[in-house]
Amino acid sequence: MDKPVRAGDAPIRVDLEKGKDYYWCACGKSSNQPFCDGSHKVEGTFKPLKFSVEEDANKALCTCKGTKNPPYCDGTHRK
């Protein structure tokens, strides 16, 4: 598997808490989109992206896995 699986056709908005670590699914196989559930371990090509926010925020996280600004949606799903 050299490309991630398209997990969705639109971003998912989530409430993120300041200082907390999150793991965005980069492979697209997680059943808990947009977050990693460990499914990437089967193929081993992808690893989740660890990220956090500096302030509490509601953000749109990418599910098409084509964003150039992971974990955030950049509108690529529309192309």
Which of residues 25, 61, 64, 73 is near ligand FES by CB under 6 A?
A: 25
Interface of this chain with ligand FES, residues 35 to 64, rule: CB under 6 A: 36-40, 46, 48
Which of residues 11, 22, 27, 63 is near ligand FES by CB under 6 A?
A: 27
DSSP 42: T
Judge residue 29's burial from the number of C-beta atoms within 10 Å of its C-beta, 0-12 exposed, 13-18 middle, 19 or more buried: buried
Q: How far apart are CA 53 and CA 29, in angstroms?
A: 24
Q: How far apart are CA 36 and CA 19, in angstroms?
A: 18
Nearer to ligand FES, 22 or 74 (CB): 22
Nearer to ligand FES, 18 or 41 (CB): 41
Contacts to ligand FES by CB under 6 A: 25-27, 29-30, 36-40, 46, 48
